Amino acid sequence: MSKRALVTGGAGFLGSHLCERLLSEGVEVICMDNLLTGNLDNLSDLWGKDGFHFIKQDVTEYIHIPGSLDYILHFASPASPIDYQMLPIQTLKVGSLGTHKALGLAKEKNARFLLASTSETYGDPLVHPQPETYWGNVNPVGPRGVYDEAKRFAEAMTMGYHRFHGVDTRIVRIFNTYGPRMRLEDGRVLPAFMSQALRGEPMTVFGDGSQTRSFCYVDDLIEGILRLLRSDEVLPTNIGNPSEMTILQFAEKVRELCGSKSEICFKELPEDDPKIRQPDITKAKEVLGWEPKVSLDEGLRRTLDYFRQKVGGTEKS
């Protein structure tokens, strides 16, 4: 194997897909996760494969990896509203201390470092769609602030190491992504809708459902991340699907796909929940030659197969 990579948060939804893709390309992969929100089941296809290693560790502690490293991909963090509101201190620590430890290792190993940042750095945006040049509209003391500010700090720390220490860094701002290996109860919109529809339970829409999101299938996202990793682009880059739809439209599409008779019920919109969310991917197209390929219908069909297995059947009779 010609290259060697460390993936923090590698047992999570995105981290596990990244480990799998890197391994398939002949990269030796060291997966690190403390399993706070990650799941070893996500790595079940990788156990025993040549070049795959797992280390159970919290990345906020000192990281020791014997031998050389070519890449460090820092994906460790609670990433859903339910998770980071239940784990606020851990979320802040992994974004600050964890990023510091991972960057220190990149400096020591002379490895290229990629930070998994988020569209949440834009907060509840006043600019639409959101380009990388937009600085955001974030409430630092609101319930989502622990995640938003942890990622904004992580970006600042990454650029600090790049400018002061000369570390070779990349920053990807990830927009809403879906696909197999999402946790049923992680609080994000697709797992919530799909699991509720399959069980015949009411589908919960917050607010009046007019808020918008843009959904990118996981395979497309991983392709964009790896293109960024291997590019020369240092500043943040949006990776996501610019095809925008309302949450209510999305709920109806999921319900139809599942063949469900679930009712749609409305609940109060959470504080600081973004009203609009759509990536401007002009930079990704021009610099990386990347744009999403998998249609929403196709991606949802692939995801439904996974959720049917997890839920244990279709809706209740």
Residues serving a catalytic function are 147
Angle subtended at Cα 277 by Cα 274 and Cα 280, rounded to the nearest 5 degrees = 145
- Locate 283 and state its tokens: 């930079």
Distance CA 244, CA 72 (A): 32
- DSSP code of residue 279: B
Q: Which alpha helices (DSSP H) does the chain contain, by range?
A: 13-24, 81-86, 88-93, 99-109, 145-165, 189-199, 218-229, 247-258, 282-283, 296-311
Q: Are 132 and 283 a contacting pair, CB within 8 Å?
A: yes
- Name the amino acid, one letter, at 194: M
Grouping H, G, I as helix, E, B as strand and the rest as coil, residue 192 is helix
> What region does 141 belong to: left with phi over 0, alpha with psi -120 to 50, or beta?
alpha
Distance CA 283, CA 228 (A): 11
Torsion over CA: 54, 60, 66, 68 (sign): positive
Q: From residue 296, give the alpha-carbon distance in Å to each of 21, 179, 207, 311.
A: 21, 11, 23, 21
Q: Are 115 and 172 a contacting pair, CB within 8 Å?
A: yes
Torsion over CA: 159, 163, 169, 172 (sign): positive
Distance CA 161, CA 89 (A): 24
